[in-house]
Amino acid sequence: MNLFADALRWLLDPAQWTGTYALSTLLGQHLLYTAVSVLIAAVVAVPAGWLIGHTGRGREIAVAISGAARAIPSFGLLILLVLLFGVLQVPAAALVTFVLLAIPSLLAGAYTGIEAIEPRVIDAARAMGMTPWQVFWKVEFRLGLPLLIGGLRAATLQVIATVTIAAWVNLGGLGFPIIQGIQLNRFDQVLAGALLVAVLALIADLLFALAQRAAVPAGVRAAGGRARDEPRTRGALRAART
């Protein structure tokens, strides 16, 4: 436990909170990279996923993409893009890596959300005279939202983990104290960085879990209809690990 005391002392040292590599700056970089790349990925993947879920076409492609993506080592993809972009373009290469890694989870979240809806519910909406747009916006979007947020959750956690590793190519972020500490044999610093990253991931996970719960429409919650869909769909949202 002595190690943890050292890590805490390192964390609380005012020297860690000033200068170029101040922990607050590193945290800011970590959050910014994560937010920007998940947002870009969402703009691409969510409409595509909705279209697949709504029309039922292209489902095989989405399944194949998310299945194959699991086999790609994120660290290798990062290094490959860094070398392809040129070492001076590290931030751009890293951003592209993060976006690519976030897409499969978001795609899966968007289409499984719509796919998991009982077909009779959609039929009922049509029978009530809803236009396709109304069916999407008033029924499919609302009922699919919890799973979409699940996809967002998986994508965010994956990107948080990959940003950590990206400290290896001098991207900054909370991986910096870990990577630098390993090279300097400073294990108080390594452990402090690891604790910060773990806490960041756990907080993000918790916030998304709450959002996911809040996104379940009141009527569905009252009917208890969500539980049945869960085992079938939650596997799709299991994030990859980085």
Partner 1 sequence: MTWIIDNLGLILTLTATHLQQSLIALVLGVVVSVPLGWIAWRYRLVRGPLIVLTGLLYTIPSLALLMLMPALFGYQATQPSNLVAALTIYNIAILVRSVADGLDSVDADVRRAATAMGYGSTRRFWTVDLPLAGPVILAGVRVAAVSTIALATVGTLIGVTNLGYLFTNGLDRRLIEEVFAGVVATVLLALIVDGILVLLGRLLMPWQRATKTASRVRRPAVVAGSAA
Which residues would be at the binding site for partner 1 (CB under 8 A)?
3-4, 7, 62-63, 66-77, 79-80, 82-84, 87, 100-101, 104-108, 112, 151, 154-155, 157-158, 160-162, 164-165, 168-169, 175, 178-179, 182, 187, 190-191, 193-195, 197-198, 201-202, 205, 231-242
Q: Which is nearer to partner 1, 138 or 225 (CB)?
A: 225
Minimum CB–partner distance for residue 42 and partner 1 (Å): 13
Least distance (Å) between residue 130 CB and partner 1: 27
- Would you say 125 or 239 has its CB closer to partner 1? 239
Q: Which tokens go with 178?
A: 């870990």
Radius of gyration of the chain (CA): 21
Q: Which two tokens stand for residue 84?
A: 């392809």
Name the nearest CA neighbour of 48 among 100, 101, 109: 109
Q: Among the residues of the chain, which ranges form H helices? A: 2-12, 23-55, 59-71, 74-85, 90-115, 119-127, 132-134, 141-165, 175-184, 187-214, 218-223, 226-234
Q: What is the DSSP letter of 137?
A: I
CB of 133 to partner 1, least distance (A): 27
| Smallest distance, partner 1 to C-beta of residue 226, A | 15
In 10 A of CB 23, how many CB atoms? 19
Q: Enter the tokens of residue 71.
A: 């086999």
Q: Which is nearer to partner 1, 59 or 126 (CB)?
A: 59
Q: Closest distance between partner 1 and the C-beta of residue 199, in Å?
A: 9
Nearer to partner 1 by Cβ, of 7 and 122: the residue is 7
Let me know: does 109 contact 152? Beta carbons within 8 Å: yes
When the beta carbons of 125 and 155 are compared against partner 1, the nearer one is 155
Nearer to partner 1, 6 or 25 (CB): 6
Task: Please give the Cα distance from 232 to 29 (Å, whole number).
Answer: 36
CB of 194 to partner 1, least distance (A): 4
- Kindly tell me the sign of the dihedral angle through the C-alpha atoms of 43, 102, 144, 119: positive
